[in-house]
Amino acid sequence: MAGIKIEDVAYVRFRAPNLSEMKAYLTDFGLSLAQEDDQRLFARGTGTAPFVHATEQGEPGFAALGLRAESLADLESLAQSEGGTIEPLDGPGGGFVLTLQDPDGHRVEVVAGQTLAEPITLPTPVQWNSAQARPRTRQTKRTGQGPAHVVRLGHCVLNVSDFRTSEAWYKDRFGFITSDEIALAPEFSIGAFLRCDRGETLTDHHTLFLIQSPNGPGFNHAAFEVADLDDLMAGHERLKAAGRTPEWGIGRHYLGSQVFDYWRDPWGHTLEHWTDGDLFTAADGSNKATIQELLGVQWGPTPPATMG
Half-sphere exposure of 233 toward its Cβ, with a 13 Å CA cutoff? 7
* pLDDT digits 0-9 by tens, 152-203: 999 999 999 999 999 999 999 999 999 999 999 888 999 999 999 999 999 9
d(CA 86, CA 99): 8
Q: Which amino acid is at 123?
A: P
Mean pLDDT of 229-253: 97
| Cα separation of the two ends of the chain | 32
Q: Alpha-carbon torsion 95, 56, 227, 284, what sign?
A: negative
How many CA atoms within 13 Å lie on the side-chain side of 21? 10
Q: What is the pLDDT of residue 308?
A: 66
- pTM for this one? 0.96
For 16, 85, 140, the CA distances from 239, given in Å and listed in that order, are: 20, 41, 26
The CATH architecture of the domain made up of 8-115+149-299 is Roll (3.10)
> For residues 202, 189, 81 and 68, what is the CA-based torsion angle, rounded to 10 degrees?
-30
Beta bridge partners of 263: 246, 271
pLDDT value of position 189: 96
pLDDT recorded at residue 307: 77
Pairing of strands 96-101, 61-68: unpaired
- Cα–Cα distance for residue pair 298/251, rounded to 1 Å: 7
Are 162 and 212 in contact by the 8 Å Cβ rule? The answer is: yes
**Tens-place pLDDT, residues 70-128:** 999 999 999 999 999 999 999 999 999 999 999 999 999 999 999 999 999 999 988 99
- Predicted local confidence at residue 298, as pLDDT: 98
pLDDT score, position 2: 74
For range 250-279, the mean pLDDT: 98
Q: Helix-strand-coil percent breakdown of the chain, rounded to 5?
A: 20, 40, 45
87-91, 127-131, 140-144, 148-152: least confidently modelled range: 140-144
The H helix count followed by the E strand count for the chain is: 5, 20
Nearest to 169 by CA among 208, 202, 200: 208
Q: For the chain, give the number of residues.
A: 308
The rounded percent of the chain whose pLDDT value lies above 70 is 99
Across-strand partners of 112? 96
**Cα-based distances in Å from 101 to 104, 107, 207, 211:** 8, 5, 18, 17
Q: How many CB atoms lie within 10 A of CB 35?
A: 15
Partnered with residue 8 across adjacent β-strands are 68
**Which pLDDT does position 187 carry in this prediction?**
87
Q: Are 260 and 252 in contact (CB under 8 A)?
A: yes
Sheet of strand 150-160: strand arrangement: 287-289, 177-185, 188-195, 208-212, 150-160, 218-226, 270-275, 259-264, 245-253, 297-299
